[in-house]
């Protein structure tokens, strides 16, 4: 069996996926037409051509503008359904999906519009495909603490459908410490905690996510190797890292996939997973991220299987379900 077939066939979990970052240029175009929104692009091809980023901020500007076509419950359903159908196609059997409420509430689109759309698509995917999913509500770190608190309050009617809270958007200048009190409240409410840290920001932001926010997982974290004590801590604690190779390349966190440190992280004993982050913006869903690692770094079958097993270990699934899928990996 070729390595591509193995990548396709093994069961995998995805743990770092922004649903707004799975909006395809075609769907963006169609929803813009539906709502009579004028996009700054003349065609679907022009949208695709605009996906050339200098850094995280240059991506975020386009990503938030793109999300403005999402207006009605049905739009959010379509967005979620398209991603979960892709999961089925790629044999992603479980996914932990981030959504950015403030991107929508700031435009007057409330929880009562996007949550039913998301939840209906998630229920349908479980019923039809057996793909399980859960939600991670992410706070935008470029906005004030008060806005994050207001978001937590607005989410109240939907708490039972949200497993974790996270932190994303512009990292530099917005350290985890800015949100200490919000995450303390979220933790008391029983949410799991994740945070983007060490993508563009320094290793110190990873320490802050651990020490101040009390994270269960770090999103990205690729700059951890700059700090030996942190690397040692991550190894001993087996605190998971959700690494996103194509994202790192597109946002110029690395200038060449051959220089990506994911294999070094694995060799140092860290609990590393592969994820797509914002797949329609970065040129590939989960399997394409695995393929990119095979092409650039020559990762072998055993490493692919370790990464797939890690995706279950690092997930928020019940232990017996983790075991079930990890056992299946060895059969492929």
Q: Per rule CB under 6 A, is residue 168 in the interface with ligand ADE?
A: yes
Which residue's beta carbon is nearest to the bound Zn ion? 277
Q: Would residue 20 show up in a list of annotated catalytic residues for this protein?
A: no
Binding mask 40-59 vs ligand ADE (x if CB under 6 A, - otherwise)?
A: ----------------x---
CB of 219 to Zn ion, least distance (A): 5
The residue range among 106-114, 170-178, 271-279, 316-324 that interacts with Zn ion, by the rule CB under 5 A, is 271-279
Binding Zn ion (rule: CB under 5 A), the pick from 14, 100, 171, 277 is 277
31/146 Cα distance (integer angstroms): 31
Is residue 278 involved in binding ligand ADE (CB under 6 A)?
A: yes
Rank residues 100 and 277 by Cβ distance to Zn ion and give the closer one: 277
Q: Residue for token digits 């998971």? A: 240
Considering only residues 180 to 209 of the shown chain, the ones binding ligand ADE according to CB under 6 A are 196, 199
Q: Which does 199 bind (CB under 5 to 8 A by kind): Zn ion, ligand ADE, none?
A: ligand ADE
Closest-CA residue to 311 (of 235, 243, 221): 243
**What value, to the nearest 5°, has the Cα angle with vertex 143 and ends 252 and 224?**
40
Burial of 145 (C-beta count, 10 Å sphere; 0-12/13-18/19+) = middle
**Between residues 14 and 277, which has the closer beta carbon with respect to Zn ion?**
277
Of 150, 251, 138, 157, the residue nearest 196 (C-alpha)? 138
Q: Cα(309)–Cα(56) distance, rounded to whole angstroms?
A: 29
- Choose the contact partner of 96 out of ligand ADE, Zn ion, none; CB within 5 to 8 A by kind: none
Give the footprint of ligand ADE on residues 72-91 (CB under 6 A).
none
Q: Write down the least CB distance from residue 269 to Zn ion, Å.
A: 24
Question: Considering only 31-39, 123-131, 272-280, 320-328, which stretch makes contact with Zn ion by CB under 5 A?
Answer: 272-280
Q: How far apart are CA 149 and CA 52, in angstroms?
A: 34
For strands 92-99 and 164-168, give the pairing: unpaired
Stretch touching Zn ion by CB under 5 A, among 22-30, 72-80, 224-232, 269-277: 269-277
Which parts of 107-166 interact with ligand ADE (CB under 6 A)? none
> From residue 179, how far is each of 134, 135, 175, 182, 295 by CA, in Å?
23, 20, 8, 5, 39
Tell me how many residues contact ligand ADE (CB under 6 A): 10
- How far is Cα 78 from Cα 76, in angstroms, rounded to an integer? 5
Q: Active site residue: 78, 171, 199, 200, which one?
A: 199
Rounded Cα–Cα distance for residues 112 and 116 (Å): 7
| Closer to Zn ion by Cβ: residue 277 or 291 | 277
Q: Which residue has the tokens 């379509």?
A: 78
Give the total of residues touching Zn ion (CB under 5 A).
1
Q: How far is the CB of 318 from ligand ADE (least distance, A)?
A: 28
Closest CA to 93 of 8, 157, 177: 8
Q: Which of ligand ADE, Zn ion, none interacts with 169 (beta carbon under 5 to 8 A by kind)? A: ligand ADE
Is 18 a residue that touches ligand ADE (CB under 6 A)?
Answer: yes
Neighbours of 271 (CB within 10 A): 18
3-state secondary structure of 217: strand
Q: Is 277 in the site for ligand ADE (CB under 6 A)?
A: yes
CB hemisphere CA count around 64 (13 angstroms): 18
Alpha helices in 24-179 (DSSP H): 25-34, 44-50, 56-66, 73-90, 101-105, 111-129, 145-154
Q: Which residue's CB is nearer to ligand ADE, number 250 or number 322? A: 250
Would you please indicate which residues are annotated as catalytic (active-site) residues?
A: 199
Residues that bind ligand ADE (CB under 6 A): 18, 21, 56, 168-169, 196, 199, 247, 277-278
């Amino acid at each position: 069996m070729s390595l591509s077939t193995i990548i396709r066939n093994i069961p995998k979990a995805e743990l770092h996926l922004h649903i707004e970052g799975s909006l395809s240029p075609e769907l963006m175009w169609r929803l813009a037409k539906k709502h009579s929104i004028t996009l700054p692009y003349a065609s679907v091809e022009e949208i695709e051509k605009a996906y050339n980023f200098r850094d995280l901020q240059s991506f975020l500007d386009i990503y938030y503008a793109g999300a403005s076509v999402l207006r009605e419950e049905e739009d959010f359903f379509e967005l979620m359904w398209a991603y979960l159908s892709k999961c089925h196609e790629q044999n992603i059997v479980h996914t932990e999906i981030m959504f950015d409420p403030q991107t929508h509430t700031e435009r007057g689109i409330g929880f009562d519009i996007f949550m039913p759309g998301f939840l209906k698509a998630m229920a349908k995917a479980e019923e039809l495909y057996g793909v399980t999913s859960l939600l991670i509500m992410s706070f935008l770190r470029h906005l004030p603490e008060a806005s994050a608190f207001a978001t937590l309050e607005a989410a109240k009617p939907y708490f039972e459908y949200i497993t974790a809270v996270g932190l994303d958007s512009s990292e530099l200048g917005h350290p985890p410490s800015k949100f200490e009190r919000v995450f303390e409240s979220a933790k008391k409410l029983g949410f799991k905690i994740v945070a983007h840290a060490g993508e563009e920001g320094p290793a110190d932001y990873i320490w802050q996510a651990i020490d101040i926010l009390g994270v269960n997982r770090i999103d990205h974290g690729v700059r951890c190797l700059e700090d030996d004590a942190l690397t040692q801590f991550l190894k001993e604690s087996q605190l998971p890292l959700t690494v996103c190779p194509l994202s790192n390349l597109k946002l110029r966190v690395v200038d060449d996939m051959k220089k990506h440190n994911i294999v070094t992280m694995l060799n140092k004993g860290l609990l590393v997973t592969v994820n797509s982050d914002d797949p329609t913006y970065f040129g590939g869903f989960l399997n394409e991220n695995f393929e990119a690692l095979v092409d650039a770094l020559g990762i072998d079958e055993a490493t692919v299987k370790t990464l797939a097993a890690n995706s279950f270990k690092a997930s928020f699934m019940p232990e017996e379900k983790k075991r079930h899928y990890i056992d299946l990996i060895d059969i492929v």
